[in-house]
Chain A
Amino acid sequence: MSAAIPRQSCDVAVIGGGPAGLAAALGARRAGASKVLLVEREKALGGILNQCVHDGFGLFLYKETISGPEYAERLIEDVVKEPIRVETGAMVLDLSAERVLRINSRAGYRLVEAGAVVLAMGCRERTRDQIEIPGTRPAGVLTAGSAQNLVNLQNLRIGREAVILGSGDIGLIMARRLAFEGIAVKGVFEILPWVSGLERNVRQCLLDFGIPLELRSTVVEIRGRDRVESVVVAEVDEKLAPVAGTERIIPCDTLLLSVGLIPENELARRAGVELSPLTGGAVVDETLMTSTPGVFSCGNVLHIHDVADWASFEGFAAGERAARYAAGERGGGETVSVSAASNVRYALPQRVSRGLAGVEWSFRVRRPVRDAVVEVKGRTSGRVYARRKFPRLLPSELQKIKVGPAVEEDLEVVSP
Chain B
Amino acid sequence: MSADRHPVYDVAVIGGGVVGCAVLRELSRYELKLLLLEKASDLAEGISKGNSGVIHAGFNVPTRSLKARTNVAGLKLVYELAETLGVPHRKTGKLVVALADEDRRRLEELKSQGDRSGVAGLEIVDEAAIRRLEPLARARWALYSSHTGIISPYEFTIALAECAAQNGAEVRLEAGVEAVAFEGGLFRLSTPQGTFAARRVVNSAGLFADEVARLAGIDAYRVFPCRGEYLITDKDCGLRLGMPVYPVPPRDDPGLGIHVTPTLEGNIILGPSAEPIEDKFDAASTRPVMARLKAEAGRLMPGLDRVSYIHSYTGIRPKLVDPRGGDTFADFVVEESPRRPGWVNLVGIESPGLTAAPALAEMVVAMLGVRLDLRLKPEFNPERPVRRRFAALDDDKRSRRVAGNADWGEMVCRCEHVTRAEVVEALRNPFGARTLDAVKRRTRCGMGRCQGGFCTPRLVEILQDEGVPVEKISKRGSDSRLFTGRIKGGT
Interface residues of A (CB under 8 A from B): 2-3, 5-6, 41, 89, 91, 93, 102, 104-111, 124-125, 127-130, 132, 134-140, 142-143, 145-146, 149-151, 153-160, 181, 220-221, 223, 225-227, 264, 266, 269
Residue from the list A106, A151, A223, A269 in contact with B409, Cβ < 8 A: A106
A146 touching B402 by the CB < 8 A rule? no
As a 0/1 sequence over residues 317 to 354 of chain B, the CB contacts with chain A under 8 angstroms (1 = contact) are 00000000000000000000000000000000000000
A40 and B456 alpha carbons, distance in the complex (Å): 18
A93 touching B417 by the CB < 8 A rule? yes
What are the residues of chain B within 8 A of A91 when measuring CB–CB? 411, 414
> Which A residue sits closest to B400, measured CB to CB?
A3
Instruction: Tell me, yes or no, whether B461 is within 8 Å of chain A by CB.
Output: yes
Q: Knowing A3-B396, A109-B395, say if A226 contacts B479 (CB, 8 Å).
A: yes
What are the residues of chain A within 8 A of B214 when measuring CB–CB? none
Instruction: Tell me, yes or no, whether B480 is within 8 Å of chain A by CB.
Output: yes
> Which A residue sits closest to B455, measured CB to CB?
A146
Q: Knowing A109-B402, A157-B483, say if A125 contacts B309 (CB, 8 Å).
A: no
A157 and B484 alpha carbons, distance in the complex (Å): 6
A227 touching B484 by the CB < 8 A rule? no
Interface segment, one of B6-14, B156-164, B277-285: B277-285
With most chain B CB atoms within 10 A of its CB, the pick from A105, A106, A159 is A106
A263 and B474 alpha carbons, distance in the complex (Å): 29
Residue from the list B287, B409, B414 in contact with A134, Cβ < 8 A: B287
Instruction: Tell me, yes or no, whether B384 is within 8 Å of chain A by CB.
Output: no
What are the residues of chain B within 8 A of A139 when measuring CB–CB? 474-476, 480-482
* CB within 8 Å: A-B pair count: 150
What are the residues of chain B within 8 A of A151 when measuring CB–CB? 487
A149 and B312 alpha carbons, distance in the complex (Å): 25
Residue from the list B398, B457, B481, B487 in contact with A227, Cβ < 8 A: B481
> Which A residue sits closest to B476, measured CB to CB?
A226
Residue from the list A2, A124, A160 in contact with B484, Cβ < 8 A: A160
Interface segment, one of B86-94, B188-196, B359-367, B446-454: B446-454
With most chain B CB atoms within 10 A of its CB, the pick from A5, A156, A160 is A156
Chain B interface residue bracket vs A:
35 or more
Nearest CB of chain B from residue A54's CB, rounded to whole Å: 16
What are the residues of chain B within 8 A of A127 when measuring CB–CB? 310, 449-451, 453
Instruction: Tell me, yes or no, whether B470 is within 8 Å of chain A by CB.
Output: yes
A3 and B399 alpha carbons, distance in the complex (Å): 7
A130 and B476 alpha carbons, distance in the complex (Å): 22
Nearest CB of chain A from residue B482's CB, rounded to whole Å: 5
A24 and B417 alpha carbons, distance in the complex (Å): 26
What are the residues of chain A within 8 A of B470 when measuring CB–CB? 156
- New A-B contacts (6) at CB < 8 Å, excluding given A102-B395, A104-B402, A159-B483: A5-B399, A91-B411, A128-B451, A137-B283, A225-B283, A227-B479
What are the residues of chain A within 8 A of B417 when measuring CB–CB? 93
A155 touching B308 by the CB < 8 A rule? no
A93 and B393 alpha carbons, distance in the complex (Å): 12
As a 0/1 sequence over residues 430 to 460 of chain B, the CB contacts with chain A under 8 angstroms (1 = contact) are 0000000000000000000111111011001
Instruction: Tell me, yes or no, whether B380 is within 8 Å of chain A by CB.
Output: no
What are the residues of chain A within 8 A of B456 when measuring CB–CB? 142, 146, 150
B486 touching A156 by the CB < 8 A rule? yes
A41 touching B486 by the CB < 8 A rule? no
Name B266-308 residues within 8 Å CB distance of A. Answer: 281, 283-287, 290, 308
Instruction: Tell me, yes or no, whether B179 is within 8 Å of chain A by CB.
Output: no
Instruction: Tell me, yes or no, whether B313 is within 8 Å of chain A by CB.
Output: yes
What are the residues of chain A within 8 A of B484 when measuring CB–CB? 157-160
A181 and B485 alpha carbons, distance in the complex (Å): 12
B399 touching A108 by the CB < 8 A rule? yes
> Which A residue sits closest to B404, measured CB to CB?
A3
- 7 cross-chain CB contacts under 8 A: A127-B453, A134-B284, A137-B313, A138-B480, A151-B487, A155-B486, A157-B485
Q: Knowing A124-B453, A139-B480, A157-B484, say if A132 contacts B410 (CB, 8 Å).
A: no
A136 touching B399 by the CB < 8 A rule? no
Q: Knowing A91-B411, A127-B453, A181-B487, say if A5 contacts B395 (CB, 8 Å).
A: yes
